[in-house]
Amino acid sequence: MASKNGPLRIGIGGPVGAGKTTLTAALAKILHPQTSIGVITNDIYTQEDAEALMRMQILPQDRVIGVETGGCPHTA
């Protein structure tokens, strides 16, 4: 899913419990067989979303990274 401008990037945001991780997993499940996908999750204090995606085993673990921002999640 690359273009002449580089890889396609999708940002998913919303409040706690809105389904961001579930949506990310569904997109990865659909797109992974035919595309190269990596997921970067961010949270202030945990890597909970990245760990959940790894437990789902939709993508190889080396394609999922969790970033702890320690502050504003938009700085990741």
Residue for token pair 């790894």:
54
Model confidence at 45, in pLDDT bands (50, 70, 90)? confident
Mean pLDDT of the chain: 86
pLDDT at 76 over 60: no
- For 64, counting Cβ atoms within 10 Å of its Cβ (0-12 exposed, 13-18 middle, 19+ buried), the class is buried
- For 68, counting Cβ atoms within 10 Å of its Cβ (0-12 exposed, 13-18 middle, 19+ buried), the class is middle
